[in-house]
Every structure is written in C-alpha cells, then in structure tokens.
C-alpha cells in the first residue's frame, strides 16, 4: 500500500492584519512589563507621569491590535492562527491594564 502524502496545497496566506496585531501585542506586553518592573524596582514611588501616558498609549495600541486581529480573523482564504494569537495577546494586555486600574482604585 502506497503511503499518502501529507502535503496539502492551498491558496491560503497569512493575514497582514493578523501579523500587525501580533506585533502590536508584543509591543504592548513589553511596554506593560517594563512599566511594572520599573515601578516595582522603585517600590511604587514613580513620580514621572510618562509611565501613565505610556500605559494609556499601550491601551490604545492594544485596542487597535484587537480590532486588526478581529478583521484578520474574519478574512476569507487566510490562516486563522496568527490573528487568534493577536486576539489573545491584545486581550491579555487590556485585561492586565484593567486589573492595574482596578488595583489603583483601592
């Protein structure tokens, strides 16, 4: 019996929007981690307002990345893995920022 080939030829390509959403997600995670680590090393005594502004920009980038990932996921004839990773990364950043804001209220 002949062995079947496992190569599947398809016209699908990676979504450019999905790739951009993953890049934005990685940038947002790096920004969030840097701000948290710097704040931890300063024992919460961060006087500079630029970290708050950077986290607000991070939130806007994460929302934009989430929108791009959703648009990339809905595209026809595109692979779905990269936009799904973008959705997970950007959603994690938005949830982490919401958690940090919630902690700051108490």
Percent of the chain predicted with pLDDT > 90 = 54
Given a cut of 90, whether residue 58 has pLDDT beyond it is: yes
Crossing angle between the packed helical segments 16-41 and 50-74, to the nearest 10 degrees: 160
Which residues are CB-contacts of 65 (< 8 A; sequence separation ≥ 6)? 20, 21, 22, 24, 25, 28, 86, 89, 90
Q: Give the pLDDT score at 2.
A: 63
Q: Give the pLDDT score at 1.
A: 57
Give the integer Cα–Cα distance in Å for 70 and 64: 10
- Cα 15 to the chain's mean position, in Å? 15
Given a cut of 90, whether residue 27 has pLDDT beyond it is: yes
Q: Give the pLDDT score at 49.
A: 80
């Amino acid at each position: 019996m002949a062995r079947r080939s496992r190569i599947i030829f398809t016209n699908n390509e990676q979504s450019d929007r999905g790739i951009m959403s993953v890049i934005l997600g990685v940038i947002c995670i790096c920004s969030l981690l840097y701000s948290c680590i710097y704040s931890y090393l300063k024992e919460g005594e961060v006087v500079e307002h630029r970290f708050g502004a950077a986290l607000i920009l991070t939130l806007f980038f994460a929302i934009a990345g989430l929108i791009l990932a959703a648009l990339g996921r809905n595209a026809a004839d595109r692979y779905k893995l990269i936009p799904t990773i973008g959705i997970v990364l950007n959603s994690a950043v938005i949830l982490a920022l919401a958690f940090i804001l919630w902690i700051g209220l108490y």
